[in-house]
Chains A and B, each alone.
Chain A
Amino acid sequence: MTRAAAAGLLLALGLLSTSLVALRRPFGTGDFVAIWGLKARAIHASGSLASVVRVDPAGEFSHPEYPPLWPCVLAGAAVALGRFDELLLTPLWPALALLASLAAARATRGGPGAKLLAGAIVSLLPYYRTYPGYAEALLVLFLLLAVGELDRLQTERLAPARLAAFLVLAAWTKPEGALAGLVVAALLLSARRLRPGALAGLCVVLVGVLPWTLYVRSLTGGPLPSAFDAGAFTPARLGAALVAVAAGTGWAWAGIATFALLLALAPGTRRLRSALILGVALSLAALAAAYGFSRFDVGWHVRWSWDRVLFLAAACLAPAAAEAAAEALGPAAEEAPS
């Protein structure tokens, strides 16, 4: 069996398993009920974005301050289907997994074996079988599309605009998307890629973050309580957060070690992907440090969110992992020049 065929089989396994888990029952777990589905039902029933604040005006459980793109996608799909039915919406889940796998393949340098391997890694990540209906599946699609543009910035005229657009969409999906956009912009600016860096940074702030923030404020008359509060920070809390993050990383440490060892065997990938790896590491560090500002119990907050942060990081690094594997394995028989 060729490497490409083996990777293709793994990709198919990931998508099949995701489909089976998602389609066997309606969306209806934790944050889908409390946040994403609730808002989608509210938008669908009222036809108004303002309804995401009405269902929880004090911001006690549904994070009205979160951007509304995923609820809008769910509500739009329900409109197309003729009714809001949580089971009929479940095919969106494997569709998002497939699109993210294709985006990972597009972002990967090399032959079909490496591209399929990147797609397979993404589709096999546990998130797709743990959190059906959550927003990270849409977020990771935009982040992987943005990763795919990084290589094209110097060769394709429209790549900077596409990069900015994907980062804006990521910021419209979840706050972590805005953070990723700002990290990408900062890294581009520090590498003296001034035009794409400034375009991405300005678009993320002016189009991705400000409009929704101002809209929600206009509805509530002031800022809503978010999960984080500057007043909650203490060094001891930050220490507790970092301990909780280290413990909460759990089995993912094995994945991190595997990735690090693969990179050690692939100096070319290490060099070419250093900016991507640095960007992901900076985002992870910022998000880990943010738990020091959590207004909830830190252990509880980390327990219910850190694995999804790790999913975003793992998916964004999948192209680099696949490239490192291809480099370390050397040219496959089917790809070697005859």
Chain B
Amino acid sequence: MPLRGRAASGAGHRRVAASLLLAAGLGALAAQAVWRALPLPASLSAARRFWAANQTTRLLNVPFFSADRELSAAALRLGRTLGPEEDVLLVLPRGAPPEAVEESRRRAAYLLAPRRVAVSTGDVPAFRLSPVRGSP
């Protein structure tokens, strides 16, 4: 094969290989981008519900907070009545698993920021949130 023909054939093979690689790579990226937004009606319906709701309802319906709606609602209520300089004590039932304690602490800390939320365990049915006397 003449040199020019061989070079053209090499470039052709390279182009085909690059096209296949690009198609595979971009196809996989595009497929997950579409898949993550599906099902479209459910995504749009969730968006409509959240954008129509008020600020408190929105926050309480975020999955992380709705997983313990009572604690989240109590933290929001306490946050409205407490000065930002007062800290808070969260008491959880004795024997609560460490992961559940950590999640509750994070929920309360987020909703009550900038206050510090200290956590302890005691004889409470589900939880108790109270201002810390003498804080800050």
Contacts and interface: CB of A to CB of B under 8 A. Distances in A.
Interface of A: 10, 13-14, 16-18, 20-21, 23-26, 28-30, 33-34, 37-39, 41-43, 45-46, 48, 51, 54-57, 61-62, 83, 85-87, 120-121, 124-126, 129-130, 254-255, 258, 261-262, 265-266, 325, 328-330
Interface in B13-65: 14-15, 17-19, 21-22, 24-26, 28-30, 32-34, 36-37, 40, 43-44, 46-47, 50-51, 55, 58-59, 61-65
B78 to A, nearest CB: 14
Interface residues of B, number: 46
Contacts of A48: 114
Given A61-B105, A121-B29, A24 B22 contact: no
B73 to A, nearest CB: 15
Contacts of A120: 26
B90 to A, nearest CB: 13
17 contacts: A14-B29, A17-B33, A17-B37, A25-B50, A28-B59, A33-B107, A33-B110, A42-B113, A55-B109, A55-B117, A61-B105, A255-B25, A261-B21, A262-B21, A325-B21, A329-B22, A330-B14
Contacts of A56: 109, 116
Contact of B30 (A13, A33, A261): A13
Contacts of B116: 54-57
B106 interface: yes
Contacts of A85: 55, 58
A83 B56 CA distance: 12
Given A28-B59, A57-B116, 18 more contacts: A17-B36, A20-B37, A20-B43, A20-B44, A24-B50, A25-B46, A26-B58, A26-B62, A41-B114, A61-B105, A87-B55, A121-B26, A126-B32, A129-B33, A255-B25, A328-B17, A329-B22, A330-B15
Closest 10 CB pairs of A and B: A328-B18, A28-B62, A42-B114, A124-B29, A24-B47, A129-B36, A51-B114, A41-B113, A46-B114, A42-B113
B9 to A, nearest CB: 13
Interface in B106-127: 106-107, 109-110, 113-117
Contacts, number: 145
A34 B106 contact: yes
B11 interface: yes
A121 B24 CA distance: 13
A26 B59 contact: yes
B15 to A, nearest CB: 6
Looking at chain A's contact residues, the main secondary structure is helix
Contacts of B117: 55
A253 to B, nearest CB: 12
A159 to B, nearest CB: 31
Contacts of B109: 38, 55-56, 61-62
B25 A258 contact: yes
B113 A25 contact: no
A261 B37 contact: no
A129 B18 contact: no
A327 to B, nearest CB: 8
B12 to A, nearest CB: 9
Nearest to A48: B114
Nearest to A322: B22
A83 B59 CA distance: 13
B68 interface: no
